């Protein structure tokens, strides 16, 4: 195995920039898929190298997807892929995993560029998942069909006259101008809503401010969404799969943290609680799928690995050690059942799986990240947080086994490169001891989460947690780190070695700007 070097990320970043479509965003021609892991690799490469070109590839892609027909402008959430290079005409199916993978890209994109529009897209997508894809018991459903009444896209497309009837002439015309709606339509004599022109341009033409126009459009979108609810809905596949649920738990937890909105954290916790109660076997293993009250089939490697990732993200958002303990339990079972002790890496099926002729190893990302890269990612971060260096080593060895593949096929190894970026570091922890003022605590968290720092772990110590009460797993992070003078206090550390704390909002802001 080759060693992991920054050159691996450098080469991948440059290669992805060469393949990028500079006009419409994304990579290659039609059909166009979001390539979420590649975009996250580009963000990390841009941060390491200062290559602004990579950042602009991400920006163009997120802008064009977010304004294209692949995004559901009324209900939130992304369709599966675009049949053309412009992201206009999607295959209308909506997958849980696509949306779970797109949320982190848009969050990181907002952190890296400061574009608030990306946060709106995240909120609307989380709303869509909560409204349409989370079961009453908390688990997340798999997919929503493309067709209703036997016609692809029928639920999602519009005639101009319908919009004018609902919004009135003047407001309706303004809406249609913004969303590319005409008498003749832009697809099969109907209209797929999309925003091909910059808002500024449309606002200028109408002699209005962008804010005014946005406010009017927001109201219009909601009126149309409610009217659309009266249509026959596309069918839904209500299977609950552990791996896809793990991805969505991670995305919602990250959303709660970066947006500072508990609603999404709670949504993630309900998902995790469902999986924990309904999808664990008596022997500690996981079931793969749940439907109509019944869980069955032994889970695969990516089920375990994605659930570990979801639990780590929940811990990083809530600070509740319960998620860390559960992650540790699942990771230990994953190692025991899937690890190849002879030649390294992880098998896709467990050693007690329904008989499989030859056990394969899954190292290539497809629409979802590969099992081996997710397993490595989970073990590296859990090992780091728990002080289990043997797990970090195991994760690193797994990445090293994949590094030659990643050097040859970087766009099939995005998740591996994301994990490698973390291993290469430097990783930093920030221990935040809360102050008396909840407003000041919120302000500090916003300061820390408004910036793109993928290899910084924020650990939150509640203001009333005494040293005696610190859970064992968090002793090394929290012990002896106390607040000063009732103000939020931040310790900036590397593997537990910390400098002098920054006390109060102004001092923390200054320290963050120097990072």
pLDDT of residue 351: 87
Q: State the Cα–Cα distance between residues 48 and 56, nearest whole angstrom.
A: 15
pLDDT of residue 359: 80
pLDDT higher than 60, residue 186: yes
For 184, 384, 398, 492, the CA distances from 496, given in Å and listed in that order, are 63, 10, 25, 9
Q: What is the distance, to the nearest Å, from the Cα of residue 117 to the centroid of all Cα atoms in its chain? A: 16
Query: Closest Cα partner for 105 from 149, 165, 29, 40?
Result: 40
If pLDDT is split at 50, 70 and 90, which confidence band does 496 have?
A: confident
Task: Report the SS3 class of residue 52.
Answer: helix
Query: Closest Cα partner for 391 from 299, 492, 305?
Result: 305
Mean pLDDT across 148-170: 97
Mean pLDDT across 141-149: 96
pLDDT tens by residue, 428-451: 999 999 999 999 999 999 999 999
pTM, to two decimals = 0.97
Strands 456-461 and 428-433, by their bridges, are parallel
Q: State the Cα–Cα distance between residues 120 and 71, nearest whole angstrom.
A: 12
Query: Closest Cα partner for 105 from 85, 131, 78?
Result: 78
pLDDT more than 90, % of the chain: 94
Instruction: Tell me the pLDDT of the chain averaged across its residues.
Output: 96
Q: State the Cα–Cα distance between residues 259 and 235, nearest whole angstrom.
A: 31
CB under 8 Å to 155, separation ≥6 — which residues? Answer: 92, 148, 228, 231, 232, 233, 234
If pLDDT is split at 50, 70 and 90, which confidence band does 1 have?
A: very low
pLDDT tens by residue, 439-487: 999 999 999 999 999 999 999 998 888 999 999 999 999 999 999 999 9
Tell how many helices (H) and how many strands (E) occur in the chain. Answer: 19, 15
pLDDT tens by residue, 93-128: 999 999 999 999 999 999 999 999 999 999 999 999
Instruction: Outline where 206-320 has alpha helix (H).
Output: 210-228, 242-259, 262-278, 301-318
Are 331 and 388 contacting, i.e. CB atoms less than 8 angstroms apart?
Answer: no
pLDDT tens by residue, 397-408: 999 999 999 999
pLDDT higher than 90, residue 365: yes
Task: Report the SS3 class of residue 164.
Answer: helix
pLDDT of residue 355: 66
pLDDT higher than 80, residue 337: yes
* Torsion of the alpha carbons at 401, 402, 403 and 407, rounded to the nearest 10: 150
pLDDT more than 70, % of the chain: 99
Task: Report the SS3 class of residue 280.
Answer: strand
pLDDT higher than 80, residue 88: yes
pLDDT higher than 80, residue 357: no
Q: State the Cα–Cα distance between residues 486 and 479, nearest whole angstrom.
A: 18
Rg of the Cα atoms in the chain? 23
pLDDT higher than 60, residue 211: yes
Cis amide linkage into residue 508, ω under 30° from 0: no
The domains of the chain, with CATH numbers, are: 6-149+236-424 (1.50.10.10), 156-228 (no CATH), 428-514 (3.40.30.10)
Query: Closest Cα partner for 462 from 473, 451, 478?
Result: 478
Residue 3 has what DSSP assignment? P
pLDDT of residue 2: 55
Mean pLDDT across 213-230: 96
pLDDT tens by residue, 6-27: 999 999 999 999 999 999 999 9
DSSP string for 103-115: HHHHHHHHHHH--
Are 86 and 79 contacting, i.e. CB atoms less than 8 angstroms apart?
Answer: no
């Amino acid at each position: 195995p080759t060693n992991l070097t920054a050159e691996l990320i450098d080469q991948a970043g440059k290669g992805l920039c060469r393949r990028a479509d500079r006009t419409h965003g994304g990579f290659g021609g039609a059909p166009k898929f979001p390539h979420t892991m590649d975009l996250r690799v580009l963000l990390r490469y841009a941060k390491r190298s200062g290559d602004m070109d990579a950042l602009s590839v991400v920006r163009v892609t997120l802008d064009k997807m977010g304004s294209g027909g692949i995004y559901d402008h009324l209900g939130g959430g992304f369709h599966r892929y675009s049949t053309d290079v412009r992201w206009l005409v999607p295959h209308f199916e909506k997958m849980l995993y696509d949306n779970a993978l797109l949320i982190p890209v848009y969050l990181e994109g907002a952190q890296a560029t400061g574009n608030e529009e990306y946060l709106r897209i995240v909120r609307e997508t989380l709303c869509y998942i909560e409204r349409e894809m989370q079961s009453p018991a908390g688990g997340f459903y798999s997919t929503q069909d493309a067709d209703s009444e036997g016609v692809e896209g029928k639920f999602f497309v519009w005639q101009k006259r319908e919009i004018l009837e609902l919004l009135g002439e003047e407001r309706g015309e303004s809406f249609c101008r913004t969303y590319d709606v005409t008498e003749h339509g832009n697809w099969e004599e109907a209209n797929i809503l999309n925003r091909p022109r910059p808002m500024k341009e449309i606002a200028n033409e109408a002699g209005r401010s962008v804010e005014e126009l946005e406010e009017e459009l927001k109201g219009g979108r909601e009126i149309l969404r409610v009217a659309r609810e009266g249509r026959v809905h596309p069918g839904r596949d209500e299977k609950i799969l552990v791996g896809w649920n793990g991805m969505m738990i991670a995305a919602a937890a990250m959303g709660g943290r970066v947006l500072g909105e508990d609603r999404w954290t709670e949504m993630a916790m309900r998902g995790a609680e469902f999986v924990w109660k309904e999808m664990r076997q008596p022997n500690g293993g996981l079931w793969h799928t749940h439907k109509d009250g019944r869980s069955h089939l032994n889970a695969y490697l990516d089920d375990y690995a994605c659930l570990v990732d979801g639990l780590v993200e929940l811990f990083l958002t809530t600070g509740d050690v319960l998620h860390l303990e559960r992650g540790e339990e699942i990771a230990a079972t994953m190692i025991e059942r899937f690890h190849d002790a002879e030649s390294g890496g992880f098998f896709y099926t467990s050693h007690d799986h329904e008989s499989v002729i030859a056990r394969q190893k899954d190292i290539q990302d497809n629409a979802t990240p590969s099992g081996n890269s997710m397993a490595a990612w989970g073990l590296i971060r859990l090992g780091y947080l728990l002080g289990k260096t043997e797990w970090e080593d195991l994760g690193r060895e797994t990445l090293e086994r994949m590094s030659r593949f990643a050097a040859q096929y970087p766009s099939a190894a995005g998740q591996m490169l994301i994990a490698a970026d973390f291993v290469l570091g430097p990783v930093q922890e920030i221990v935040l001891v809360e102050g008396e003022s909840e407003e000041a605590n919120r302000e500090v968290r916003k300061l820390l989460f408004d910036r793109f720092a993928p290899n910084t772990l924020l650990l939150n110590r509640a203001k009333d947690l005494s040293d005696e009460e610190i859970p064992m797993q968090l002793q090394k992070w929290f012990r002896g780190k106390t607040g000063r003078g009732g103000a939020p206090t931040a310790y900036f550390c590397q593997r537990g070695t910390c400098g002098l704390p920054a006390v109060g909002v102004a001092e923390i802001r200054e320290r963050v700007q120097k990072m």
